[in-house]
Structure 1
């Protein structure tokens, strides 16, 4: 079995313009052949085909000669569909397709007047002609194509059409031009467009407005500013819009409008110091205003680290150069205000202090001051043995020792000290910070005679107030280890040589004194009583 090649056809459309507006147009159906039959799609040539026309697809499929229509078709409605049959003279195979016959009325152009403005404020008027096409024709139609010309002759000849109707600008700007409206080729109309120049908006104040009330808090030339604060001064009326640009070129182009106008990040180091504002109100041509930006300089300063002796205090005065300072607030590490002057006195605690100042331009600045102790020796222990006092101190440098803070020695040993409260001093060689520590050399009497003569009647160990409110414990035992006296005191040990109000026998007794610092003193105490 052999299959014959089909005849490939495409549906066709024929359009005509009814310039008489009577819906009585004649079509030559053979004008559609070039759309219907594409030689490259077929194996047989067009010359091998018999072409006939019909009013219905059914008639075309049957190919009945009695139902054929001629090559000429006159219509009385806007759209008519007829059918065509292509039949091979060689094989007898055939195909059918449709021909749509469309009749169009020419568009009716209407003379239009357009108000033009210099909307991009570059000194030249511009207009988007395509925004007004609906007013240029009596019945808008998606098939209408609009072409614009500067002369009537160009419009009639269809030459030198304006290339950029969506953004037309000229200097000088014409007072009129012509528009040609066409729905299909040869079906058109044209008319005049008249231009009038719009009324420019009158601003109450175009500036430049000085935006100079913002302090450069970070002293880096960068701050957020509110550009919108001048809107009521520019134009106080209704239906107004403001667009902000960082350059005039961007305003002219309508690009890169500032978005965050209330918190505009202004950089006076790199950015423009002028912001351009486009002010627009319906019915008027836009106008321009300007804002000049500058930041107020804060009273910037720094305070170096400060050192003082651990047991001392110091005073610091802030010397701020180049500014007229109207306010000072010093705060300690806990946030408490400690001074409202340039000078802060009596600093005794290490830590981070802050100083906030305000200059006469209203700008403030806060700096911190870190306060540290000088490195000093540390007294670890004082040993008193057999009348010799040894001061044990540690440090990173050569340490000097003293018991009066005046005469200093390199040795940490002291002999022959009085039995009383003694202040020991240490410091680094060639430095001023002194560390002191009090120690008591106990005066412990080893004999009492409680006979009522007023001399040596009581066993007293004094100077125990050196430990503040901490208690010293004193005990006295007989030779049988019986506790016969005990006292806790923060001032002095005081025993009258009795037990329960009765004199103890003459004998040697053992005492134990325990100081709050953990040191323990022991020894024999002779009590001589008259038995």
Structure 2
């Protein structure tokens, strides 16, 4: 029966010329799928299918069955496929989304428990029992899924689940053998992929085959490489196997697992794959002995990359180069056991014997080294390799034992001692490099670095240590690194490095240390002297007043040196930022402005101060505004000038005030005064304030004998005309600025006591009117 079925399959495959796989969910029973297609071996016995679960698609399709990939690029020619959707959706091209569901299609608790997951649905299951005459069985498979989505972060988070669960009959605990090789990691979308940019890194990428475009023979977005599931068994004991795949949490985005026909076979363990991706590849010229020995073995065939190694017929084979190695072991009962292993090689690191030069504090040939300073020379700055440690002997370095305890502060025991560096790459491959420790005796000639004392004359100054670098450039290697330290110990330890701009911590003089390294080698440690130079001490900035009305008289500005003779220094005077020709300790000036004096010691240190000369001047009276002829006469003085002014009026005792307006001024002739507060002088001016007496008493007592207007004189109001009338409007008399006033008579006759009226007309046409009383 088995041969008839296989012949039928062969005839069917010969008619398939397309590029996509073909599937069949109807022809083969589950027993045939397992016994005749997956196993197809007399060396695995008592095969009995015990349970089958799949989706119900109205009896027209299944979620499991047979596939034929003859003539396609699919890695298996035929076999068994389990899916979380319709089998009819499995063939390519990958042009549609396989996204099936079916009623009452539940998940599987054994799968969930084995993978520590939950909430599976749409589980497709094939369970069977078997016995084996060998101690190990294996089969080949690959996993494909729509949940592989190139460039989509969902690939990092979501995956359907599958497992190949096995247990001895009579036991309840399953073991899952669908694992990433050499790990306990279940194979699924999230554990085998090449990475999603900006979402997740590649994981187990060696076992990922491809992101699938449209022109592939299956209808899934991505797939793994061909993997091998292996189980250790006890010969002739019955085991139960559960092949199961299920959707996780929801039915969306189907997955499938493909089993290669005839691949369930006896197996021999040749050890874990030695891969670059898992960092256990072989190194350099390293060899590996593969051992296929087992009980009841008869003969051995070895293959490399599918080509038989004709002369290799022993149970062991020594690997010397990369490749995929297979072995076929014929047992006494003519059954064949198969084993395979993938070997990759990593290059040993390329290292360079080097010299590390350090400075010697007491020149006795013994000093301290930071051995890692030589790392760049030993590795040639190759970031793909790294120093493991340093050792006193080559044998210790080879054995990776007795590493130097403190390689960053190592004291040599003899001059020109050699230590050994072990250098590894990420694959664990290593090489040993020799490092010779030498002493530098270079002493540099460093001139004393001088700086001027600061604003506070206290012996502290700011030094630009870059000037030291400039001074020693011709004494050190090109490109050397120069650093500065306050103590020699700091220089040796390379701690507490000083900045290029440094202020001394010891007044007046201080010693610092200059360390020069070249390619991480100590070229020299030499002391350097810092000297703080005296700087002239000057008076504080000052302000002065220059009276413009005193021009061309001068005032004297002084350099302002304190605690020393002015003749000990050089002087430079600037006016408003422009250098002048004055170079003396004083400056005679008659021009306002900002004067800066720079006082320089013969040692070159300078101080400066600013003398601001502000202009001032006597006032110019532009106008005097008089409100007169009222009960509250006022005088307002308007002036111009560069000064600050105050004002006074003679009637108030010549007391100056800030206000330029005077109130309640009595009529008459007055003097106003304006003076400059900056001392540039004062100006005065006589003014007239008109006033009209309310009465007069021409009774011979020489008091108020005549009525006359106040504030008129020969100098003021020459054009005034005053007419006096009696109560009936009769003109009595007429006065001007020269008149002595009215004596109360008319044509020599005294007039009676009464009220009289006046009209006073000024030359500018302004008039005043009013009345007064004549009292006898």
TM-score by length of 2: 0.35
